[in-house]
Structure 1
């Protein structure tokens, strides 16, 4: 991206003070995501590998985070992007750094990290006869469909691709707004609209329109092109986080209104569980709309509540924070492959559901830790797992 002196001078005037609460929230969000993907082995929802101990009741704890876990990741990613932009020496440098930190691990992940997931799914579901090495060297890079699995694939790494795409759109917008006064005006407008109860009402109305009117009961494809329900949810969440980093008024409003968000989240979750467990019904268009409203209430209410809690009680540093903040991305890159492969190894085991779950948690934590520390120690591996290059 070509920069004029005006862009270099005005795109982001001052640095942003680190918000430790948002760091802890990011760490917690990724930890929940990893546990959620372990849970996917045991619930009757589509996943790459399933346990013999699939239980319908296990959806109840999964539904507690299902509505907001990914939206929260985009909010905290947008917040971090504003801080990174403020520290960068020019918009072009910001774009280059973010592209390097996102696209290189994405390419490495698609080529090396994700393929075992596709192989396990093909073996378990479609009786794929060949071993993994043959699959990776002969079939994975053929750009076709095997069974119902399209190869190559990015699977859970869709989040990285979407994050880069939103970052690119953000950079285009920042380049278009070259005058500092205009950027201050944007921050003022954001703080005015969302500086009071609007921080609850406005995003909740948008989310309700998505889930109850425009796309009731529509799933995300994670294919980037045509995935409108995802883009209409996640890109505004990303922009919200970006704007929040320079809006004390909105952060103050979140600190005031987060208990209301918590009540909305709990009420939405209770209604969704009632529908999923068959206590409310029957299914039909009217119920779809009410489900969408409950989903929106749980989604945005939980995000406001969690940010408010992070602002009030967790905006403080600790010795382990820096390491965990650096480790979450490498953990994210590799965690699902570990889960799927271990679930495959345990496929014919005599373990109980509890024992299988415990093994999956322990193996995932151990494998992710080894991946992070091993990659961090080797300079040429660092960019591949999303870490900064050493000088």
Structure 2
């Protein structure tokens, strides 16, 4: 396996987390926000949901794809025992900590805002994503290490050949189409705590690994055909928006989802595969920000929604409050307090004394 660092994958993870924040803030300004446990603005910006319906079909699957790619890199210098230990520390520990100490905070803010009686109940909330990822790791690790062991064999050649075909988004989409035809989800974008979300994420995680495993030809293919993928995705979105009121048949949405994602992969490979200090910082911050962003968002809503300002300005203010609030908590607390770092998926800082430094130099 090649040891080349892929900065575009890191950038896509950061961008996907950023889109998640904007998406959750947009829900606050929808008339149905209260029905899914969000604090709701009395005034709505329903037009804000139009671009969100385009993002809906691919933002979460993209994160699962990228997570599968991340596991490919994590396996480079680890045996299966080391990998499971590392994933337990990085995924399971933050998940367990989050459901008892983080997600109850935003529910507490919700209860205060609506004058509900306080009820502390540990729950997954938005951290269901981490649970799914950890299960995928447990289920797929034997297969992945088998593939790693036989990376010069016929299976690798077949996978590389398939993944380098220009129609690879359609080929991969066949499996996602089968999933929606079997599960028949009520809505395609209902990923959280549903069998559809679990199986969709499983496939995306699996293919994320396989895309990296297949080698460089895949990336050259998506780079060459990225505008065709994005154009076809836009056509399917236009049909979904105009003919089906944003919820077209599941098989069309599965294809649209993968066309967007493979087009984004091509754009990322072309324009984002370069190192920067900004990326280094944001890549470290993205995971903790994902974990804490909901209670920061809820705090922002109860402070800003009552203000006598325009609805658009409220939206902008909540966006800024959430971003700056997450930055402050990450930078001042999580990043600097060593015992907290593992609880948010970060490695603890190791203090090196002079003897250790001299030994490393030798």
TM over 0.5: yes
Answering whether residue 27 of structure 2 is matched by residue 40 of structure 1, we say yes
Q: CA deviation at 1:173?
A: 2.7
- Structure 1 distance, partners of 2:294, 2:148, is 43
Supply the distance in 2 between the matched residues of 1:178 and 1:298 (Cα, whole angstroms). Answer: 29
Partners of 2:147 and 2:53 lie apart in 1 by 43
| 2:23 is equivalent to residue 23 of structure 1 | no
Aligned-partner Cα distance in 2 for 1:319–1:332: 20
Task: Tell whether the 8 Å contact from 1:102 to 1:160 is kept in structure 2 after alignment.
Answer: yes
Aligned residue among 110, 118, 139 for 2:99: 110
Q: Are 1:329 and 2:287 matched, yes or no?
A: yes
Distance in 1 of aligned mates of 2:185 and 2:149 = 40
Report the number of matched residues. 344
* 2:192 alignment counterpart: 222
1:207 and 2:176 correspond: yes
1:188 to 157, 169, 174: 157
Superposition deviation, residue 216 in structure 1: 4.9
The verdict on how the C-alpha distance between 1:187 and 1:228 changes in structure 2, with shifts beyond 3 A counting, is farther
Kindly indicate whether residue 271 of structure 2 is the aligned counterpart of residue 313 of structure 1. Answer: yes
Closer, same or farther in 2 for the Cα pair 1:237/1:381, shift >3 Å?
same
Once residues 302 and 156 of structure 2 are traced to their aligned partners in structure 1, the CA distance between those partners, rounded to angstroms, is 50
Uncovered stretches (5+) of structure 1, i.e. residues with no partner: 1-13, 130-134, 141-150, 279-287
> C-alpha distance in 2, partners of 1:78/1:316?
21
What SS does structure 1 have at the residue aligned with 2:76? helix
> How big is the shift at 1:84?
0.9
Partner of 2:129: 159
TM-score by length of 1: 0.81
Q: Is the 8 A contact 2:304 2:318 kept in 1?
A: no
C-alpha RMSD of the superposition: 2.3
Offset of residue 349 of structure 1: 2.9
- Structure 1 residue 314, shift from structure 2 partner: 1.6
Indicate yes or no: 2:20 matched with 1:51.
no
CA deviations over 1:200-229 (Å, ceiling 9, x no partner): 221222333334564153464633xxx321
**Residue 128 (1) aligns with residue 116 (2):** yes
List per-residue Cα deviations over 1:232-271 (Å, max 9, x = no partner).
Answer: 2111111111122232222222222222210121112212
Q: 1:16 Cα shift?
A: 2.7
Decide whether aligned partners of structure 1 residues 300 and 44 sit closer, same or farther in structure 2, where only a CA change above 3 A counts: farther
1:259 aligns with 2:259: no
Which secondary structure does the structure 1 equivalent of 2:249 belong to?
helix
Partner Cα separation in structure 2 for residue 47 and residue 97 of structure 1: 33
Flag the 1:263–1:179 CA change in 2: closer, same or farther, 3 A.
Answer: closer
Distance in 1 between residues matched to 2:92 and 2:122, nearest whole Å: 16
- Partner of 1:119, secondary structure, is helix
Contact 2:163 2:211 in 1 (8 A): no
Separation (CA, whole Å) in 2 of partners of 1:30 and 1:184: 36
1:370 aligns with 2:328: yes
TM superposition shift of 1:83:
0.4
Work out whether 1:241 is the aligned partner of 2:211: no
| Cα contact 2:109–2:299 (8 A) shared by 1 | yes
2:329 counterpart of 1:359: no
Q: Once the 2 structures are TM-superposed, how far is the Cα of residue 194 of structure 1 from its aligned partner?
A: 2.1
